[in-house]
Amino acid sequence: MKIKVGFGFDVHQLKENHPFVVGGVDLEHHKGAYGHSDADVLLHAICDALLGAANLRDIGYHFKNTDPRWKGISSIILLQESVKLVKEKGFEIGNIDAMLCLEAPKINPHIPAMQQHIATAIGIDIEDISIKATTNEQMGFIGREEGVVAYAVCLIQKI
């Protein structure tokens, strides 16, 4: 059995009075992530991890931020499309481990809903999706609430 590991990273600016979607969940906050799609930093990092593990390049290669088809699109769709590409290459997804880094809002109450959205989109068990969150201890652009960062790793295996 061939097993591969992928790593993903994403970052988005935070802007006042802008929607904040993380893990497919709309968060109530005075700032939100800005980007071409819905700027779901967590799902973008997961897409990059999956695509990278399957040697399919990155999210920007498949879903260019200059393409009007992806303007404002839900990143759940980008995740589903990424999973389709990984499966077309003959892999199944084993698990995902992700980390969010932001000062506010608190993520912990939203983790079960995020896990459910991701599990449904990917077609794996919710127990195979780990999401954690931390702050940047008020340092740097994250600490000043100018941006949000997500990291993700995944394991895929040849079917």
Does 38 show up as a binding residue in the annotation? no
Does 55 show up as a binding residue in the annotation? no
Does 120 show up as a binding residue in the annotation? no
Does 36 show up as a binding residue in the annotation? yes
Does 44 show up as a binding residue in the annotation? yes
Closest listed residue to residue 29, CA positions, set 16, 39, 42, 40: 16
Does 24 show up as a binding residue in the annotation? no
Does 18 show up as a binding residue in the annotation? no
Does 9 show up as a binding residue in the annotation? no
Does 29 show up as a binding residue in the annotation? no
Does 7 show up as a binding residue in the annotation? no
Does 65 show up as a binding residue in the annotation? yes
3-class DSSP assignment, residue 145:
coil
Type and span of the H or E element at 108: none
DSSP 22-90: ETTEEEP-SEEEESSS---HHHHHHHHHHHHHTT---HHHHS-TT-GGGTT--HHHHHHHHHHHHHHTT
Does 144 show up as a binding residue in the annotation? yes
The DSSP symbol for 17 reads T
Does 134 show up as a binding residue in the annotation? yes
Does 90 show up as a binding residue in the annotation? no
Q: Which residues are documented as binding site?
A: 10-12, 36-37, 44, 58-60, 63-67, 134-137, 141, 144
Q: Which residues are documented as binding site for a divalent metal cation?
A: 10, 12, 44
